[in-house]
């Protein structure tokens, strides 16, 4: 990789060519996972099973396990929901803002940041469902026709606002993440040797051929999605803050609680982005 300017160091050290970079990127997918991966996966699996056991205990005992009672409206579940939303906003905002400002070092962290967003939003959406007490009827929060006649969702509830905000944010984040993966899927498709893998990556890559027309549309769509995602982050964080601003508690009914949430979320996003960058380095 050659220097772009006399005052700017190359983004990738070691005098690597584009072929060397492709080999480095594809090696974890094409080669067998190392032993350390299985160890870390086993630890994560144990922690995940412990979490599933705790949720089953909660559903069998009651949401009072989280400290939820008549005097405490938002207990550990909604607090954890806000925490996961803060993590989820970190990835897409960092990736979108860096793309809008044409920062090329974004390529070092955008994949992990955007994937972190999607997993965090999934985790965030789980806790309001558990907070309702019945996971199997979670679809009742959606304004869809039902067999109960005039039964409809409560549009005055901040939890319903969260449903619209989080679902919109998740949709934009998923599309933004997937659009960025299409050229990579095409690269793996061209290198795949097994017919099943080649067919699967052919479907995922949507017929990408790397032509100038494809790259032009790719950059245009990425910029549009980045422009949509950036203000959406602040709107979602503001709506999440209404969970606390609309309760019958004068100590939390601040008129500026939305701005406080957004400022706190920005600090949280910067910390997550710095952590991703340091770990990558």
Domains of the chain (ranges; CATH) run 70-280 (1.20.1630)
Residue tagged 């080649």 (tokens): 198
Residue tagged 């989820």 (tokens): 88
Give the residue among 153, 176, 19 at the shortest CA–CA distance from 91.
Answer: 176
Cβ neighbours of 141 (radius 10 Å): 19
Express each pLDDT in 128-159 by its tens digit: 888 777 777 777 777 777 666 666 777 777 77
| Structural contact between residues 61 and 107, judged by C-beta atoms closer than 8 angstroms | no
Residue 8 DSSP SS3: strand
- Half-sphere exposure of residue 220: CA atoms within 13 angstroms, side-chain side: 6
Cβ neighbours of 82 (radius 10 Å): 20
Express each pLDDT in 44-77 by its tens digit: 999 999 989 988 888 888 878 887 776 666 677 7
- pTM, 2 dp: 0.76
Q: Quick one: how many helices (H) and strands (E) in the chain?
A: 8, 0
Q: Does residue 262 surpass a pLDDT of 70? A: no
CA 188 to chain centre: 24
| Structural contact between residues 227 and 164, judged by C-beta atoms closer than 8 angstroms | no
Phi/psi at 5 (nearest 5 deg)?
A: -155, 160
Mean pLDDT of 22-29: 82
């Amino acid at each position: 990789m050659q220097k772009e300017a006399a005052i700017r160091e190359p983004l990738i050290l070691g005098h690597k060519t584009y072929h060397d970079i492709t080999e480095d990127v594809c090696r974890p997918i094409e080669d067998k996972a190392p032993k350390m991966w299985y160890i870390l996966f086993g630890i994560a699996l144990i922690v995940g099973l412990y979490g599933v056991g705790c949720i089953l205990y909660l559903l069998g005992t009651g949401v009072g396990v989280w400290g939820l009672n008549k005097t405490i409206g938002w207990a550990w579940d909604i607090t954890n929901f806000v925490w996961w939303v803060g993590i989820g906003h970190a990835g897409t905002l960092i990736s979108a803002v860096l793309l809008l400002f044409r920062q090329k070092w974004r390529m070092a962290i955008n994949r992990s940041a955007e994937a972190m967003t999607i997993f965090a939003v999934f985790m965030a959406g789980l806790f309001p469902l558990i907070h309702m007490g019945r996971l199997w009827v979670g679809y009742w929060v959606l304004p869809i026709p039902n067999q109960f006649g005039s039964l409809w969702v409560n549009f005055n509830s901040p939890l319903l606002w969260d449903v619209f905000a989080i679902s919109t944010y998740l949709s934009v984040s998923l599309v933004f993440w997937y659009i960025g993966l299409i050229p990579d899927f095409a690269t793996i498709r061209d290198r795949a040797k097994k017919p099943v893998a080649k067919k699967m990556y052919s479907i995922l890559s949507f017929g990408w051929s790397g032509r100038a027309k494809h790259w032009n549309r790719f950059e245009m769509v990425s910029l549009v999605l980045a422009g949509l995602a950036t203000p959406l982050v602040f709107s979602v964080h503001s709506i999440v803050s209404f969970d606390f601003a609309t309760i019958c508690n004068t100590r939390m009914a601040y008129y500026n609680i939305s701005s406080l949430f957004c400022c706190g979320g920005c600090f949280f996003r910067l910390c997550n982005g710095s952590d991703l960058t340091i770990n990558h380095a």
